[in-house]
Amino acid sequence: MKWNAELYDQKHSFVFQYGENVLELLEVKAGEHILDLGCGTGYLTQQIHQLGARVKGTDSSADMIKQAKGNYPEIDFAVEDATKFTTDDQYDAVFSNAVLHWIKNTDAMMTSVYNSLKPGGRFVAEMGGKGNVKHLIAATREVLLNHGYKKQAETKVWYFPSMGEYTSKLEAHGFRVTYAAHFDRKTPLQDGDQGVAKWITMFGPLFLAGIPQEEKQQMLAEVTALLEPHYNEGGQWYADYKRLRFIAIKEL
């Protein structure tokens, strides 16, 4: 999937703005060596840098890393795959915001994170949890099936685990989970009734792969109509986000 880094910054800044709150869990100490895994355009990486850490931001998207380097040239950014990265200098902490639900090969990612941490190092993250954008996924699949796009309707775009499921995986990879929470956080969409179409275009284009543009616009309008009772609150539209946060420590 190819990311539009400029659109991400302009229209979907809520991703990193909510992430500022997750940084409190990280409890950055000056001089620490920290990895921002899936850093996007680098906003939170820069926040970690400002707290006095030696930070590296990585992302699988070359477009995101190019934008991050342009935004914050003083910070170390690199294109890396979260499922198979290595480091010669182990980290005190690995931080990740709104990324892990994109990673299907969870085992490989957790092994890479574990190996990259110092003994006692911490893995601190927020991701989509079980039930995240449940209404949106259901409406999108309904419209796809109505238009005869069975293959697209069966596409699994994200991995939204329960708290028990994900913490068990972390424990199986040698982590001790010291904190975990699974909570609702309705998230405002910009541009009113156009917000749903823009969200799907940005984050769920795999649902629309191979569909002609004119039909795609009609289908997005139908998805929006299905979601209005759930998302429209007096003219402000909200997506039904459910988030999973955790702190996991690499056992000594």
Segments forming the whole domain that contains residue 33: 5-250
Burial of 32 (0-12, 13-18, 19+ CB in 10 A): buried
Q: Which residues contact 118 (CB under 8 A, 6 or more apart)?
A: 90, 91, 92, 250
- Give, rounded to a whole angstrom, the gap between the first and last alpha carbons of the chain: 37
- Sequence-ordered list of residues with C-beta below 8 angstroms from that of 143, at least 6 positions apart, any chain: 219, 222, 223, 226
Whole-number Å distance between alpha carbons of 46 and 70: 12
Looking up residue 186, the CATH number of its domain turns out to be 3.40.50.150
The pair phi, psi for residue 74, each rounded to 5°, is -80, -5
- Number of structural domains (the chain) is 1
CA 220 to chain centre: 22
Return the structure tokens found at 206.
């795999």
Q: List per-residue pLDDT tens for the chain, 252 residues long.
A: 443 445 444 444 444 556 568 899 999 999 999 999 999 999 999 999 999 999 999 999 999 999 999 999 999 999 999 999 999 999 999 999 999 999 999 999 999 999 999 999 999 999 999 999 999 999 999 999 999 999 999 999 999 999 999 999 999 999 999 999 999 999 999 888 899 999 999 999 999 999 999 999 999 999 999 999 999 999 999 999 999 999 999 997
The reported pTM is: 0.90
Sign, CA torsion 129/127/138/147? negative
Each residue of 171-227: pLDDT tens digit?
999 999 999 999 999 999 988 889 999 999 999 999 999 999 999 999 999 999 999
Burial of 235 (0-12, 13-18, 19+ CB in 10 A): exposed
